[in-house]
């Protein structure tokens, strides 16, 4: 029987490694000659020893570092897979020597080497693809619907289909269970699979999902039209946003019972920002004009479309300091601009300053390949026995956590199920003090990535918690996070719709002083 605990047994193979090494290495070297799959062209297979700092010279600079630390012996297989006559994905599969019989696909933009290294290091046969284009620009979409289709769902699904075939080819024993791990666009891709290819995975770990994708792009485009550029009378400086943040904390930090600088439930926070309007004696570096207070009001309000329907919820309060240099920086959001230029209008000169909800309506009417990813009926996934564990940072500065709660309600209403029924296959955890997929000021180390790992025990690690849920039927009640700052402390994050409150006794860093209510 496979147990989650075998995941943590990465040591202890010492003696056998050397003897087994040659066989594994030659298996790896000879593997390309065994691959005869339609549309698949193998570029190379490469044995990588644990401890290698792998250089990836052709990694697009916009996707991140061209180096990856590798913690386990793996066979790395790199290939191209045609998805149509005019499109292809670049796919990698990493097969660990110390294999646990589990297949896993990573997601998000670019090939996520750090997720592939993380999960293959935990014993998964792991794959990752490039979504059908290289780099973060939207230009490859221009007059190329096949590339949009790859991005919407096909790259990921193709990688799963091919990856599973290769796993069965590489390991005689094949695999028993299949998993998914991804955040952001990777979170959207995870839900796309749950909605459209419910048989692909037994367990899906989907973080901070970029679903309601068109609504998200419209909302992201809208900040620039609210703030204007840095010379506009509607624009706030970094110092003013810091003042807004401090005022929000003053009004809302205590709502969870603890004044610790961390909002446990930003939903409850309805700040009155007009308190900051300049009056005689105010500090003019930090006080606001009425127009600037209106900017803040609009930013902390949902975005509604032309005929009044909700396009996207508000930015949750609490992210002002981070967003002062991102969403509120007085510059257009590049991914939104690219989508309108290269997909919606086929107009490379489209001006993001002109964005209005009319543009959102045009984009929504297209919704190519249902990239919106908002289907509320997960009954096929449920029927196939799948489990989806999703999490969202409550200080996410790029994708509002309120949207994950909105989707939860959407699924509940569509499937006519309350939380106790949804709990059987779909659990949402809200992670206080966590930014977009990581970072932040709270106890956000939950094992969703290698950098956010603070142990492989399922209490502390969302991936092993998912494995235990799928394979042993033990569902996670809470997700225990560890702080990144020292002295380290823990906090158990709640499963929606519960929220965390401090009940004492002791310091806020005492994990037993909190209750999910
Ligand atoms: C890998 O090598 C690069 C280039 O020398 C270096 O910048 C990076 O820090 C190294 N990474 C690790 C984990 O050693
Ligand atoms: C390429 O086009 C041919 C002819 O239309 C078709 O038979 C084939 O399936 C296409 N290949 C792919 C990968 O779509
Ligand atoms: C799959 O599970 C069976 C039964 O528990 C086990 O015998 C087998 O080794 C597993 N296969 C793999 C690939 O781990
Ligand atoms: C992406 O980059 C790889 C090299 O890393 C290249 O082989 C592939 O053709 C590129 N894909 C596209 C769609 O340009
Ligand atoms: C944009 O170009 C694509 C591909 O050429 C086409 O399918 C689509 O209809 C065009 N959209 C508009 C708004 O012209
Ligand atoms: C603001 O105005 C100054 C002076 O007119 C100009 O140089 C600068 O480019 C403007 N900044 C923006 C963001 O428009
Ligand atoms: C005004 O606020 C700024 C930013 O917080 C601070 O640096 C400055 O000292 C304040 N000025 C006065 C007169 O208090």
DSSP states of 152-205: IIIHHHHHHHHHHHHHHHHSTT--SEEEEEEETHHHHHHHHHHHH-TTS-SEEE
Q: Please check whether residues 225 and 343 belong to one and the same domain.
A: yes
Nearest-atom number in ligand 2 for the CA of 84 is 14
Nearest-atom number in ligand 6 for the CA of 331 is 13
Residue nearest to atom 13 of ligand 7 (CA): 283
CATH number of the domain encompassing residue 399 = 3.40.50.1820
Q: Is 22 a catalytic residue?
A: no
Q: Which of 347, 369, 391 is the last residue of a domain?
A: 369
- 201 lies in some domain: yes
Q: Please check whether residues 398 and 505 belong to one and the same domain.
A: yes
Residue nearest to atom 6 of ligand 2 (CA): 85
pLDDT recorded at residue 12: 39
Q: What total of structural domains would you count in the chain?
A: 2
Q: Please check whether residues 358 and 382 belong to one and the same domain.
A: no
Q: Please check whether residues 441 and 398 belong to one and the same domain.
A: yes
pLDDT recorded at residue 10: 37
Q: Please check whether residues 226 and 363 belong to one and the same domain.
A: yes
Distance CA 259, CA 268 (A): 15
pLDDT recorded at residue 7: 35
Distance CA 134, CA 197 (A): 25
Q: Please check whether residues 365 and 375 belong to one and the same domain.
A: no
Q: Which of 369, 386, 405 is the last residue of a domain?
A: 369
Q: Please check whether residues 411 and 436 belong to one and the same domain.
A: yes
pLDDT recorded at residue 22: 86
Best of 84, 90, 110, 132 for a ligand 4 pocket test (most atoms within 8 Å of beta carbon): 90
- 1 lies in some domain: no
- 327 lies in some domain: yes
Q: Please check whether residues 259 and 355 belong to one and the same domain.
A: yes
Q: Please check whether residues 192 and 324 belong to one and the same domain.
A: no
Q: Please check whether residues 137 and 225 belong to one and the same domain.
A: no
Q: Please check whether residues 443 and 456 belong to one and the same domain.
A: yes
Distance CA 311, CA 501 (A): 30
Catalytic residue among 184, 220, 336, 401: 184
Q: Please check whether residues 238 and 172 belong to one and the same domain.
A: no
Instruction: Name the residue with tokens 């952001």.
Output: 184
Catalytic residue among 133, 157, 436, 490: 436
Of the candidates 148, 141, 78, 83, the one whose C-alpha atom is nearest the C-alpha of residue 111 is 78
Q: What interhelical angle do 213-227 and 357-366 show, nearest 10? A: 160
- 265 lies in some domain: yes
- 396 lies in some domain: yes
Q: Report CA(485)–ligand 1 centroid distance (Å).
A: 24
pLDDT recorded at residue 18: 53
Distance CA 321, CA 261 (A): 13
Look at the alpha carbons of 452, 456, 457, 463 in this order and tell me if their dihedral is positive or negative: positive
Catalytic residue among 396, 400, 441, 483: 396
Nearest ligand, measured from the Cα of 239: 7
DSSP letters for 267-282:
GG----GGGGB--TT-
pLDDT in tens, the chain (517 residues): 333 333 333 333 444 455 545 899 999 999 999 999 999 999 999 999 999 999 999 999 988 899 999 999 999 999 999 999 999 999 999 999 999 999 999 999 889 999 999 999 999 999 999 999 999 999 999 999 999 999 999 999 999 999 999 999 999 999 999 999 999 999 999 999 999 999 999 999 999 999 999 999 999 999 999 999 999 999 999 999 999 999 999 999 999 999 999 999 999 999 999 999 999 999 999 999 999 999 999 999 999 999 999 999 999 999 999 999 999 999 999 999 999 999 999 999 999 999 999 999 999 999 999 999 999 999 999 999 999 999 999 999 999 999 999 999 999 999 999 999 999 999 999 999 999 999 999 999 999 999 999 999 999 999 999 999 999 999 999 999 999 999 999 999 999 999 999 999 999 999 999 999 9
- 11 lies in some domain: no
User: Do residues 192 and 261 touch, judged by C-beta distance below 8 A?
Assistant: no
- 16 lies in some domain: no
Domain containing 279: what range? 215-369
pLDDT recorded at residue 21: 55
| Ligand 4 cavity residues, CB under 6 Å | 58, 88, 90, 133-134
Contacts 24+ apart (CB under 8 A), 493-496: 493/391, 493/429, 493/430, 493/431, 493/432, 493/443, 493/446, 494/429, 494/430, 495/423, 495/427, 495/428, 495/429, 496/404, 496/405, 496/408, 496/419, 496/428, 496/429, 496/430
Q: Is the CB of 85 within 6 Å of ligand 2?
A: yes
CA angle 491, 494, 498 (to 5 degrees): 140
- Cα first-last separation, the chain: 36
Give strand pairing partners of 177.
102
Q: Is the CB of 407 within 6 Å of ligand 3?
A: no
Q: Which of 340, 369, 398 is the last residue of a domain?
A: 369
Mind listing the pLDDT tens digit for each residue in 470-493? Answer: 999 999 999 999 999 999 999 999
- 205 lies in some domain: yes
Q: Is 184 a catalytic residue?
A: yes
Q: What is the dihedral of CA 190, 193, 196, 199, to 10 degrees?
A: -140
User: Do residues 339 and 217 touch, judged by C-beta distance below 8 A?
Assistant: yes
CA angle 131, 315, 303 (to 5 degrees): 85
Distance CA 497, CA 449 (A): 25
């Amino acid at each position: 029987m496979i147990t989650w605990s075998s995941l943590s047994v990465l040591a202890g193979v010492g003696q056998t490694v050397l003897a087994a090494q040659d066989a594994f290495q030659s298996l790896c070297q000879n593997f390309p000659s065994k691959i005869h799959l339609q549309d698949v062209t193998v570029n190379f297979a490469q044995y990588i020893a644990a401890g290698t700092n792998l250089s990836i010279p052709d990694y697009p600079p916009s996707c991140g570092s061209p180096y990856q630390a590798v913690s386990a012996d793996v066979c790395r297989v790199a290939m191209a897979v045609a998805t149509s006559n005019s499109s292809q994905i670049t796919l990698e599969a990493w097969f660990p020597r110390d294999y646990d019989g589990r297949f896993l696909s990573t997601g998000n933009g670019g090939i996520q080497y750090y997720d592939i290294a993380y999960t293959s290091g935990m014993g998964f046969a792991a794959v990752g693809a490039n979504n059908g284009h290289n780099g973060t620009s939207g230009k490859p979409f221009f007059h190329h619907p096949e590339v949009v289709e790859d991005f919407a769902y096909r790259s990921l699904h193709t990688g799963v289909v091919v990856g599973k075939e290769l796993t069965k080819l590489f390991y005689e024993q094949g695999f028993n269970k299949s998993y998914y791990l991804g955040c952001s666009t990777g979170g959207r891709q995870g839900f796309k699979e749950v909605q459209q290819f419910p048989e692909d995975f037994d367990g899906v770990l989907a973080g901070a999902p970029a679903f309601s994708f068109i609504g998200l792009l419209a909302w992201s485009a809208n900040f620039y039209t609210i703030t204007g550029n840095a010379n506009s009378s509607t624009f706030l400086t970094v110092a003013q946003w810091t003042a807004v943040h401090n005022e929000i904390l003053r009004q809302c930090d205590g709502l969870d019972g603890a004044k610790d600088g961390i909002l446990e439930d930003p939903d409850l926070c309805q700040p009155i920002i007009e308190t900051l309007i300049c009056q005689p004696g105010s500090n003019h570096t930090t006080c606001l004009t009425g127009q600037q207070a209106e900017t803040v009001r609009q930013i902390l309000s949902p975005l509604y479309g032309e005929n009044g329907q909700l396009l996207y919820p508000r930015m949750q309060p609490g992210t002002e300091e981070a967003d002062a240099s991102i969403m509120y920086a007085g510059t257009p959001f590049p991914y939104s601009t690219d989508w309108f230029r290269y997909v919606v209008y086929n107009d490379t000169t489209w001006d993001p300053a002109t964005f209005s909800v009319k543009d959102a309506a045009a984009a929504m009417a297209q919704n190519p390949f249902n990239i919106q990813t908002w289907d509320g009926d997960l009954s096929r996934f449920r029927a196939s026995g799948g489990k989806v564990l999703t999490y969202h940072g409550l200080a996410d500065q790029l994708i509002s956590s309120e949207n994950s709660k909105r989707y939860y309600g959407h699924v509940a209403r569509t499937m006519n199920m309350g939380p106790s029924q949804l709990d059987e296959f779909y659990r949402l955890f809200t992670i206080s003090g966590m930014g977009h997929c990581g970072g932040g000021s709270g106890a956000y180390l939950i094992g969703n990535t290698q950098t956010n790992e603070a142990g492989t025990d399922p209490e502390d690690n969302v991936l092993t918690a998912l494995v235990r849920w799928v394979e042993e039927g033990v569902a996670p009640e809470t997700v225990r996070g560890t702080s990144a700052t020292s002295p380290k402390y823990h906090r158990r994050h709640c499963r929606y719709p519960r929220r965390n409150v401090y009940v004492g006794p002791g310091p806020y860093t005492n994990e037993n002083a909190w209750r999910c209510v």
